[in-house]
Amino acid sequence: MGRMTLKSFLEARITLQDWLFLFETAIRSSILSTETKEPSLLYMLSYIAAAGNQTTPGSINRLVGATGSAQDSRINGGTQLLATALAEKLGAQNIYLDSPVGKVKLNGGRYTVMSNRLQVSAKHVVVAMSPPLAGQISYDPLLPAGRDQLTQRMLMGSIGKGDRNLSQALVPEARAERTAAE
Ligand SMILES: Cc1cc2nc3c(=O)[nH]c(=O)nc-3n(C[C@H](O)[C@H](O)[C@H](O)COP(=O)(O)OP(=O)(O)OC[C@H]3O[C@@H](n4cnc5c(N)ncnc54)[C@H](O)[C@@H]3O)c2cc1C
């Protein structure tokens, strides 16, 4: 399963082209934001399983569904509020932008995290980046072999996504144009 791509699995089982198109569009636009030829079947299965919880097994419906599923709730005001509120709590003076970490070194039970602009000493470090980016940091001592292989082999998808923010004023106009055209 780790060697088979999601695409080859789907193509071997779904013969109706319309269904294939529908499934690929769902994966591309709302579930993984990637082409089905990129993830393995095993990754997709683990992703579906991760949509479960202690009482309900994971399913595709829970990934795309609304009530009780992934699209159940949104943050009033936008997801960015999470980062904004966290930044306020931490204090602007403790946040360094445009300062990519180049090296993490463990010495005497403490980590030194180094960028071009500063060095920070810490008891614990959380590297919260995608595996390929995390793999660009130099670690001393080296990462365990298994983790190093993960950062080398878990590539990111190659799709971008954009949202168009329609103002309130535009929406009724667009509806009116559509009605006129109909
Ligand atoms: C195309 C696309 C569409 C998506 N659509 C959705 C969606 O509709 N809904 C949804 O819920 N999720 C969506 N996701 C997933 C969502 O974006 C991620 O799950 C989320 O952004 C992960 O957050 P994160 O903080 O873990 O990592 P990231 O958002 O990747 O943040 C990592 C941060 O690390 C910084 N960084 C990189 N290198 C260094 C370095 N050397 N030193 C210091 N900092 C560094 C980066 O600049 C970045 O700010 C989508 C993802 C993609 C790619």
For the CA of 133, the nearest atom of ligand 1 = 38
**pLDDT value for 156:** 81
Q: How far apart are CA 65 and CA 26, in angstroms?
A: 12
Cross-strand bridge partners of residue 121: 112
**Are 151 and 135 within 8 A, CB to CB?**
yes
**pLDDT value for 17:** 92
Render the burial of 9-29: b for 16+ CB within 10 Å, e for the rest.
bbeeeeeeeeebeebbeebbe
Residue to mutate, 133, 139, 154, ligand 1, most ligand atoms under 8 Å from C-beta: 133
Sign of the dihedral defined by the CA atoms of residues 86, 88, 93, 97, in that order: positive
Q: How far apart are CA 19 and CA 11, in angstroms?
A: 10
Find the 91 Cα to ligand 1 centroid distance in Å: 22
Residue ranges of the chain whose pLDDT lies below 70 = 168-182
Token pair recorded at residue 177: 């144009």
Q: How far apart are CA 179 and CA 169, in angstroms?
A: 16
**pLDDT value for 180:** 59
Torsion angle of alpha carbons 161, 166, 172, 178, nearest 10°? -40
**pLDDT value for 51:** 93
Closest CA to 130 of 112, 150, 114: 150
**pLDDT value for 178:** 56
Pocket of ligand 1 (CB under 6 A): 33, 100-101, 128-130, 133, 137, 159-161
**pLDDT value for 30:** 78
Find the 177 Cα to ligand 1 centroid distance in Å: 37
- Can you say how many angstroms the Cα of residue 152 is from the centroid of all Cα atoms in its chain? 17
pLDDT tens-digit map of 125-172: 999 999 999 999 999 999 999 999 989 888 887 777 777 777 766 655
